[in-house]
Structure 1
Amino acid sequence: MNNKIIGFILLILSFSSGWMWMDYQTALHNPALLDKTVTIEIEKGDSINRIIDKLVAEQLAIKPFWFKVIAFQLNVLKKLKTGEYELTSGLTVPQILALFAQGKTKQHIITFPEGWSFKEILREIEKNPNLEHTLSGADFGCLMAKFKSDVKSPEGLFFPDTYYFEKHTSDVSLLKRAYDKMQQVLQREWGSKAEGLPFKTPYEALTLASIVEKETGAVSERPLIAGVFIRRLEQNMLLQTDPTVIYGMGESYQGDIKAKDLTTATPYNTYVISGLPPTPISMPGRDALYAVLHPDKGDSLYFVARGDGTHAFSANLKDHEAAVDKFQRNKK
């Protein structure tokens, strides 16, 4: 082989190796996507080739050969975790592989507002397409047994909050998180409660907190309303609170309470039954729990809505009737 041929071959090899090095550097450092965000799901059993196909289908600027080489160099070929990933503009191949290897999956959110009932929670869960749904037709007693709860009714036992979760999380595991958080908050608040309260158990406090939660959205009023109800319990007075009546009416409630509803006996009609209803009627938040365990120490026994979101409080029936005339009857 003459020197010219050898020189030509060396030139080609030099050019090729230089080109490959530049191509590798481009694959290593250039963003794989620009000006957009895409979602990729790695499913159980997906090979590296299948993952690459999914990335290419989303028009990411990756080169399959170099993607595999970089994954090998980073020692993550066998460490890519299943899940849904959100890839944002500017990510490079090493950064994408790091997300996959660390399992930094896309987080979905669901919110349970304060004051919601368990039925409302279930409806929110059922319409969320990112959860795995297993509760259709479930026995709630069995559900609570899964949480090792002594209470059969799920009402009030799930903490109202915003929860983040991965796609395909089961509805039961999400509820377990909300249940555990309510137990933690309730036990913490119970441990620092004021002395002399008429509660035998934290569950009783939770029940009253659920009523306070439904009575007012004004945080500053919750200790006042809690104080009214606690004094009524202490004096063996009926609680006479409309939210419990509404809860007891169930599907028959159509937006207003009639006179006969106040005299119709249900386990939740506090115009008829003495003491607390058998279960909470909603999910109370931390403020409502704190209020019933640190109630106002005044002498009010009555309150009436002013019509602006706040209430007028009275210590005797005469003053209460005057307040009702002022804020309710005279407005009709």
Structure 2
Amino acid sequence: MLKKLIIMIFLLGLLMAGVAGWSFFQVKSALDKPVLIEQQTFITVKSGTSFRGLLTQLSNEKIVTLSPWLRWVGYLEPALTNIKAGTYAIEPQATLHSVLTMITDGKEYQYAITLVDGESFSEWRQLLQADPHLIHTTDNMTQAQISTAVGIENDKIEGYFLPNTYHFTAGTSDISILKRAHVAMMKELDLAWQQRAKDTPLKTPYQALIMASIIEKETAVARERGLVASVFMNRLRANMPLQTDPTVIYGMGDKYDGNITKKDLRTPTAYNTYTMRGLPPTPIAMPNKASIMAAVDPDDSDYYYFVADGKGGHKFSTTLVEHNRAVRAYLKILRTQK
């Protein structure tokens, strides 16, 4: 009798092990099934969503086909039921298991916004306002209010942010992006200022930022940045007006229609470096790292002038006579191109 009981218990154990193994196989098979989508698809999981609610959402959005075996996932892989809210990107080659792993790990999709060097804060602001994945907290704020919110001790916000591509998750605020860009700029500016040339006429890091913004607007040719910077440094040392068109354009604001006239060059503004000596009061654009380094450590030259050469770069000159000759050559090139 005891022997029969032992055999029965053994057989029952084998049966239960078999059922458990078969059940595990069914759950694993359900988890390993590929998703139904043929292109990248986004899903937003709201806060408080349960595991069963997520499965229903995935089914309703035609991403997966539900299996009754999925109700046992909590017993076999409880970590897959720890749902985290957010926006996720599901790829066509994914399985349900990889989708659940991504969501339980909180690996939200990283959106990106590129803040371009050489642009003004007003241009950046339009870009931030147009991004549908950001929370727009600054839409009704003045630049002075934004400065305070970001932590800038200056009502003039121009130049205080480092151009770069910034990644973020859905629901990030625009002010958060600006704070990151500001911290990055201050780090780069501080590092550059520590490496400044000993004979620089610039007195403060902020003056270096102003100069860097002018260099940024004057040339997009990497090899020229140091030479452009040297021209402006030589002019500052000689107490000559910088006479740089981008500052005039910035000072004109909305009045600028794409052309600068002789009248514009003679009309004083706080930024017109044809009618004033020294630096303008603020940066005129967002400079990149290379322009900042050129500002604090320019090339060593005896140039005081430069003009476009008609080939994408500039012709640098030591004397006004040489400069005027270069200007005439450039104007001749322009006439032949008409």
Return the TM-score normalized by structure 2.
0.89
User: Per-residue displacement from partner, 1:285-317 (whole Å, max 9, x unpaired)?
Assistant: 111111111111110000011122110111111
Q: Gapped runs of 5+ residues in structure 2?
A: 1-11
CA distance in 1 between counterparts of 2:38 and 2:87 reads: 20
Match of 1:302 in 2: 305
Match of 1:135 in 2: 138
Match of 2:118 in 1: 115
- The CA deviation at 1:13 is 9.7
- Tell me whether 266-275 or 14-23 shows the greater mean CA deviation: 14-23
2:259 pairs with 256, 260, 272, which one? 256
Contact preservation (8 Å) 2:27, 2:70: no
- Between the two proteins, what is the percent identity of the paired residues? 39
Amino acid of the residue matched to residue 157 of structure 1? Y
2:292 pairs with 267, 289, 294, which one? 289
Match of 1:217 in 2: 220
2:243 pairs with 215, 240, 249, which one? 240
Match of 1:5 in 2: none
Distance 1:205 1:30, change over 3 A: same
Equivalent residues, number:
322
Amino acid of the residue matched to residue 255 of structure 2? S
User: Per-residue displacement from partner, 1:2-27 (whole Å, max 9, x unpaired)?
Assistant: xxxxxxxx9x9999878645432311
Match of 2:318 in 1: 315
How well do the aligned residues superpose, as a CA RMSD in angstroms? 2.2
Distance 1:78 1:201, change over 3 A: farther
Match of 2:102 in 1: 99
Match of 1:181 in 2: 184
Q: How does 1:1-332 map to 2 (within 5 A)?
A: 20-33=23-36, 35-63=38-66, 65-76=68-79, 79-328=82-331, 331-332=334-335
Contact preservation (8 Å) 2:150, 2:178: no
Q: Gapped runs of 5+ residues in structure 1?
A: 1-9
Distance 1:15 1:62, change over 3 A: farther
- Tell me whether 40-49 or 241-250 shows the greater mean CA deviation: 40-49
Contact preservation (8 Å) 2:74, 2:81: no
Distance 1:198 1:26, change over 3 A: same
Distance 1:70 1:92, change over 3 A: farther
Contact preservation (8 Å) 1:33, 1:90: no
- The CA deviation at 1:179 is 0.9
Return the TM-score normalized by structure 1.
0.90
- The CA deviation at 1:63 is 2.7
